[in-house]
Amino acid sequence: MTSAATAKKAAPAASALDDTERGRLDAAIRDLQAGSRTWAALSVAQRATLLRAVRTSTAANVEDWALVAAESKGLNAAHPLRGEEWLSGPYSVLGALDAYIDTLTKLAEGRGALDGIRLGRAPGGRVAVDAFPLTGMDRFLLQGFTGQVWLEPGITPNAARRDAGLGQLSPGENGGVGLVLGAGNITSIPVLDVLYELLAHNRVALLKVNPTQDALVPVYERAFAPLIEPGFLRIVKGGPAAGAYLTGHDHLVHVHITGSAATFDAIVWGPGANGKRRRRENRPQLKKPITAELGGVSPIIVVPGQWSDADITFQAEHIATMRLQNCGHNCIAGQVVLMSADWPQKEQFRAALRRAYAAAPDRPIWYPNSDARMSQAAGDYPDALQLADRLLIEIDGDDDPTALENTEYFAPVLGVEELPGLGQDFLDGAVAHANEKLQGTLGANVIIDPATEKSLGSGFGRAIAALHYGSIAVNTWTAFGFITPTMTWGAFPGNTIQDVGSGLGVVHNALLLDGVERSVVRGPFRPFPRSLPFVNGGGRVTILPKPPWFVSARTAATVSEGLTRFRANGGIGTLVKTLLAALRA
């Protein structure tokens, strides 16, 4: 997210705030300072009880949450994609609360956060935590989907178990008051970031919502009243001037931001020429620690194999989803398809991808400045295929892929590049290309059929280990890792404030793991019933004919709402109706 096209407006001077606004923000911080002392006095068991109250109030507001979010994005009650706002909003937060409650309950009972959770080995001798599925319901509903968190090389299993728990291993420590600058695109992100501040770092939080989510503030205030009333959370609105004032506030000890690298640099170094000079001189204007999730250009590596017509159609729709969910306004949206120039089925797959990309439901391009980014993409690639509200860029021999590979368009823009080779040669080349050519290290997707993966043997695992991204998805989308609370979310380790890339640190991480390197999620290559072993000759079994997050799923809105209501309130009737709808997807 380093291009000018993705840069949000630099923050003006804090002096743009009037006395009333500064007083409002200062009062919120004073409330939180008192709340931080109360938080430090709570035992882990009391915190688990508090989270149960938060869960109850969140469950009571799921409908308002989803409807307000959908309306703010131009999705009316009949729109087929309105289910996105159920899954990416309240469903995600309820899942996180359940997972945190489980972790805190273990710790309160004197057990370890990883008690009952298997630790395995990943390539390079890394510890791999089997972080999903952990419940019987997840094993049933999401059969075929799994997730591991890989820890940094050198961490032993004993150290992993000992250190899991982070701030809840020393709950009496007062972490002070942190600032969360909320994301503007996905409604669960600000809340998930607040929970991580509280539980991983013992920091109470001042959440400044992005102006795109101002309409949700009343819903947030109702859902998270149990955190607001004792002073553990304050939610404020405001533009860049409020953000600038808060990031420089002496009584805030930490900043977390979800946004762009340009905004990050304006916070850390300052805007304009003065900021550039400070960066050259390594004199940051920000005097407190900062963590960040900043997006990037995500690859979709398509490993060639012998695919059926149904495989090609399904995976083309899968890729269209990776780009078009939330109209492409996602930090984790797939942007560059890397496929083999030597694959005999490449033209068939290209044609299927064009059809799937064109056939997805129309929707408003709603995120601020997206029109400008679309125009930039069209200017970068005037021969791109214009499909109503979206662009498909197919890089040919004479085209320069640099702009596509280094500009996070944050809009419905998908590119396709070809690389030489088949089998392991192609996969290794695609991994190297993604690592070296594409901007950022947040997430990467790999699609590979079971027979081809089997033929690669240990070479496939080595290739995944060589793919330096914080979240990797094999035969699913990295958004599955985002929505799974026991997985981690953040850039691959190694960035600095001088070269921030896709960000610093991780969030989500409901197992409260220390020393995280990446998360790896896996899904079935084929949907039900073609996922059955006697149909496809191998691979992962799933009960889903089509995942509800697919933009092509006919019953996605009904299924997403049903899953959220079931997560909120249970009820076998709700679950049965939802599963029947899923079978018609």
Q: What is the pLDDT of residues 17-26, one digit of tens each?
A: 999 999 999 9
- pLDDT for res 585: 83
Residue 512: name the closest of 105, 55, 113 by CA.
Answer: 113
Instruction: Mark out the alpha helices in 325-449 (DSSP H runs).
Output: 346-359, 370-380, 402-406, 423-437
- pLDDT for res 8: 34
- Asked whether residue 1 carries a pLDDT value surpassing 60, the answer given is no
* Domain positions in the chain: 12-117+169-293, 298-476
- Asked whether residue 352 carries a pLDDT value surpassing 60, the answer given is yes
- pLDDT for res 387: 85
- Asked whether residue 4 carries a pLDDT value surpassing 80, the answer given is no
Give the C-alpha separation, 447 to 334, whole Å: 12
Q: What is the pLDDT of residues 398-420, one digit of tens each?
A: 899 999 999 999 999 999 999 99
- Looking at the chain, the whole-number percentage of residues with pLDDT higher than 70 is 97
Region 419-448: what's the mean pLDDT? 98
Instruction: Tell me the two tokens of residue 100.
Output: 């945190």
Q: What is the pLDDT of residues 50-68, one digit of tens each?
A: 999 999 999 999 999 999 9
DSSP letters of 514-555? SSEEEEEEE--SS-TTTTSHHHHSSS---S-SS-TT-TT-TT
CATH number at 12-117+169-293: 3.40.605.10
Give the C-alpha separation, 167 to 164, whole Å: 9
- pLDDT for res 398: 86
- Asked whether residue 441 carries a pLDDT value surpassing 90, the answer given is yes
Q: What is the pLDDT of residues 473-505, one digit of tens each?
A: 999 999 999 999 999 999 999 999 999 999 999
Domains 12-117+169-293 and 298-476 share a fold: no
- Asked whether residue 266 carries a pLDDT value surpassing 90, the answer given is yes
Residue 313: name the closest of 366, 367, 352, 262 by CA.
Answer: 352
Give the C-alpha separation, 115 to 118, whole Å: 8
Q: Kindly report which listed range (4-18, 145-159, 229-243, 337-351) carries the lowest average pLDDT score.
A: 4-18
Region 289-316: what's the mean pLDDT? 97
Residue 319: name the closest of 460, 147, 433, 446 by CA.
Answer: 446
Q: CATH says 298-476 is which class?
A: alpha beta
pLDDT band at residue 122, thresholds of 50, 70 and 90? very high
